[in-house]
Every structure is written in structure tokens, then in C-alpha cells.
Structure 1
Amino acid sequence: MTSTDKIRCGFIGLGSQGAPIATRMIAGGFSTTLWARRPESLEPFKGSGAAFASTIAELASNVDHVGLCVVNDTDVIEVCRQLIPALPRGARIAIHSTVNPETVRLIARDAAVQGIDVIDAPVSGGEPAAYAGTLTVMIGGEADAIAKALPVFQTFATLLPHLGEVGAGQNAKLVNNALLAANMAVADHALAAASALGIEKSALMELLAASSGRSFGLEVRGRMPTPQAFHHGGSLLLKDLRLLRDVLGKDPGAVGLWDAAESFLVACTAGAK
């Protein structure tokens, strides 16, 4: 019997990042059960070998490992409230959503009473990396639970740093996203300065890609015709920036990142519905 036979997986949250993660788990040979609030989210998985559960409790009763990639704290809390009582003792929940670290800690404490492990496991890399199996998973949690989850994580990720206790992964993700937003904000100013100097944008981007000023934030901003074209991504980054500010309060690091990134992200989301 292989490790993929031994671990019965579930996944909830089949959005732009969750769907490819679930796809990789299924392709990796894991018995996988899916649940979705909207039935249309399950359509792409027909014929994949995945099982579909009609309720969260039904999914929980048939799995040892549940991946969770829903949008926000409220959704994570709501789903976990239904998962925890129905999961078998010794099972684990991997939270791939980006949420407040304290939310994950509270869920972990509630789960521990039922003998359930919670792994803090937000991801970075986006939809293309998820389909390619090259995501980064920022992990917080108990070493034993993480060791059991690694075969699942390795189907969709290549970098899997263990950063500390539950909550450490979320803290790292918030810092990462705040830095991305700050880099994009600086890149926005740089492109505006270059335009004022009459420098052609495509030639500049080719130059910067091979120069010391390059960054991923610059690449992302360079692909946008205007900041407003990034309204969806900008709204998610603004949410994460605000989470970091809530976590750190008036710490100089939070204030500095907030000041660098806020006006750009607000511009991205201006007029967005």
C-alpha cells in the first residue's frame, strides 16, 4: 500500500487557486472528496476520479486530511465549525487561505479538543504555479502533523518552509504580500517618472528585467495598463495589508509597509464593485 492509498483527502474552496491545488492532489493519486457551495464549481472535476460530498459533514466523515482555500476569515471559521465535529480523531485541517493569524490559532485550539490537528499553510505563486505544482506553502504547526501532510503538499508545492507554530505561516504570508504591494507601489512611481522623462515603457521594462532595479512587483505593475486593471488583485492585497496592520498595530514595520503600499492599492480598487 502506498502513501497515497493511506491518506484520504478532502478539499473545500475550488476557486482560482484552490481548484488547481485539488487537481494536483487528485493527479497525485490521493483519494479525494470535494465539497463546494456552488455546484458549478464541481463541474470541472466530473470524470477526474474525485468523489463529491453533499455536505461538509459528509466530506469530513470520509477523510483524514482536508485542504481549505476559501476567501476570508468568516468563511474559514464557518467551514471549520462544521468540519471539526465530523472529522475522525487524528485528522488534520490545512488552511491554505490567507487570514488573520489569530483566527487560525483559535481554530487550532478548538480542533485540538477533538483530537484534530490544524496546519497553518497559506500559499504563494498564484494559479499558474498551482497548476504546475510549484507553489510555496508557508507552514506553521506541529512537526508530526506537518510530516504526515507533506506527501499531500508535495503534489502542488516545491518550497515548504516550516516557519514555527500555528499562525507563523499566516504572519509570513502577510509580510510577503505587504512587501509585494510596496514593491508595486514603488514600481508605479518609477514608471511614472520614466514616462515623464519620455522613456518608452516596453524598452524600459526589457532593460529593468536585466538590471538591478528588477522585482516581481515591477513585473506585475509593468503588465498593467493602469493600476485600476489590478482591482481584483489589489483588493485582496489591501485586505492582507490591513490584516498585517491589525496584527502589528503601530509597529514601525507595519506603518512603513502601510505607508508605502496603501495609496497604490487604494488606486487599484478605486471604482471596483
Structure 2
Amino acid sequence: MARVAFIGLGNMGGGMAANLAKAGNDVRAFDLSEAALAAAKTAGCLPVADAAAAVDGAEAIVTMLPAGRHVEQVYVDAVFPTASPSAVLIDCSTIDVATARALAEQAAAKGLLAVDAPVSGGIAAAAGGTLTFMVGGSDQAFDRARAFLEAMGKAVIHAGASGAGQVAKMCNNMILAATMTVTCEAFAMAEKLGLDPQVFYDISSKATGQSWSMTSYCPVPGVGPESPADRDYQGGFAAALMLKDLRLAMAAAEQAGASVPTGRRAAELYEAFVESGKGGDDFSGIIRALKAGELG
């Protein structure tokens, strides 16, 4: 049994921490939310008073926080001053590449192993322990982090050096956003032209238009496997979070001089969708705005 610090018990982190505890680890959990701490306790974790208390004596320190500035603050205030020299730092947040690399460099200067390990899979996968982890860091850091990540996911893939996990995550989600928007456009257009959504699904899911957005996460209720569309677009992956990932991708593309016109258009569409007050809806809910002609 290993002692694990888990900092950040939101929709994703709560399920992830629970799976680490389920795997037999001694999980010391911290979050600013009392409700999140109570849920973590029910799941077998030990709630603690602050991040430093979680980090103290931990063999692995897992963070799952909203943005790079939050990760940096926790690392500077609690992790770097308190972590055992033998601990491995595992940041599962989705943050900008520059911050991920800078924190890895600071960790290395202090003799600590660190990886960036953003996730793909959503809330259900976090709870079910079936996430995919895209991991950036040295071979040694990856080897130390791997067992802890495997307790939370179905796939743990070493993407390369520090920051590579964040690069993989933002590029993956740029594909996802663009694919979902055009899938929604196609379903909306097919319906306007008199084609039944189920018939269109039956055809396109077996033809060249097939994609994960269609066959695993169909944006039309009652069509394909169960998805957030069947729950009035609640749960799943919030549009505001998709927009966050797209903004990170656009900033990285600008810094790298990469041409991403389709990704940029997807970002513009999600910007408008979120600004309309739908940021809490699942990102596939953009189909309703497209059907209503609210996005052009």
C-alpha cells in the first residue's frame, strides 16, 4: 500500500481519488469544497486540512486542478516545500504547455520526478477507472508514475518529454471539437432535408463519415449508444471545459506558428455557444444552437 496525496476533488478528481483508494492506496485528499471532501471520505480517502498535509509523507502526489496557475500555486506553496525527495509528482490537470514544462524543470532542480498526465474520457470514465492518460516526462518519472495512473485508467501512454502529455491532450481535443461540430451540422442538415436521424446514423456510422463523435457520443437523443444527448445534454464534458482546451490549443498554435483554421473555427463556435449561457451543457449540446440557427 502506498501513501498518495490527491489535491483537487472535482467532477474528475473525485472519481480518480476513489479509484486510487479502491486499489488499496492510503489516499490523503484535499479540496476547498467540504462536499468534495465528504464524498472522498465516503469513497475511502482520508480528508486532510490543507494541501501540505496531503503531501507530507506521500509517495505520489496527484493534482487535478482547473488551470496552470492553480497547479503552480499548489506546487510552490505545498508540494515543493513539503514533498519527500522520493515522491513522484503527477499533474493530471489540463494546462498550458509552458507551465507544465516550467514546473517539471523546477521539480527536477529540487531532485523530484514529475510528469504531466492529462486525461481523456470524461466524468464516467474517471468514476469507472477507464481514463486514458497522455504522459509527458522522463522515462524514470513515467516508470514511477505508471502504477498510480494504471489504478485510474485503462490506457497509460508515454507521449514524450515534459509537456508532451499536454500537447497530446490539446491536439486530441481540437480534433474532438471540430469533429463534433461537423457531426452536429450534418445531423441538423440531414433533418432539415427530410432524412430521419436514425437512418442517417445507420448509414454514416458504417460509411466514411464515421467518427467517435457519431458512434460513441452521438449528439442526437435516442440514436446510437446512450450519451449526454439522452440526458438533455447534462453530464459528460461541459462545453466550457471544451472551450478551455481549445483556447489552450489556439495559444499553443500561435506560439508554434501552426496553421489550424478548422480548429480555430471550432473554437469560435464554442466561444459563442458558451457565451450564450450554455457552458454547463455537454459539448455535444451545440447541436441545439446549430439547429436554431444561432451559430453561423
- Pick one of 70, 78, 91 that aligns with 2:73: 78
Equivalence for 2:250: 245
Structure 1, unmatched stretches of 5+, are none
- The 5-angstrom pairing of residues 221-232 of structure 1 reads 221-223=219-221
Contact 1:230 1:268 in 2 (8 A): no
- Pick one of 261, 266, 276 that aligns with 1:255: 261
Q: Distance in 2 between matches of 1:112 and 1:173?
A: 23
* Distance change in 2, residues 1:151/1:11 (3 Å): same
SS at match of 1:32: strand
Equivalence for 2:292: none
Q: Distance in 1 between matches of 2:203 and 2:9?
A: 38
1:15-44 residue CA offsets vs partner (Å, 9 max, x unmatched): 111111111100001111001111111112
* Distance change in 2, residues 1:220/1:73 (3 Å): farther
Equivalence for 1:59: 54
What one-letter code is carried by the residue in structure 2 that aligns with 1:171?
V
SS at match of 1:119: strand
SS at match of 2:165: helix
- Pick one of 8, 16, 23 that aligns with 2:11: 16
Q: Distance in 2 between matches of 1:152 and 1:59?
A: 16
What one-letter code is carried by the residue in structure 1 that aligns with 2:153?
A
- Taking only the aligned residue pairs, the percentage that are identical comes to 28
Q: Distance in 1 between matches of 2:53 and 2:64?
A: 18
Equivalence for 2:176: 180
* Distance change in 2, residues 1:267/1:209 (3 Å): farther
Equivalent pairs counted in the alignment come to 265
Q: Does 11-20 or 45-54 show the bigger shift?
A: 45-54
Equivalence for 2:209: 213
Equivalence for 1:161: 157
Q: Distance in 1 between matches of 2:268 and 2:249?
A: 16
SS at match of 2:65: coil
Q: Does 242-251 or 87-96 show the bigger shift?
A: 242-251
Equivalence for 1:104: 100
* Distance change in 2, residues 1:246/1:48 (3 Å): closer
Q: Distance in 2 between matches of 1:262 and 1:230?
A: 21
* Distance change in 2, residues 1:267/1:203 (3 Å): farther
* Distance change in 2, residues 1:195/1:263 (3 Å): farther
SS at match of 2:73: helix
CA drift at 1:69: 0.8
SS at match of 2:62: strand
Q: TM-score, normalised by structure 1?
A: 0.89
SS at match of 2:219: helix
Q: TM-score, normalised by structure 2?
A: 0.82
Aligned structure 1 segments of 4 or more residues deviating by more than 4 angstroms: 228-232
CA drift at 1:176: 0.4
Equivalence for 2:143: 147
* Distance change in 2, residues 1:51/1:230 (3 Å): closer
| Structure 2 residue 239 is matched with structure 1 residue 234 | yes
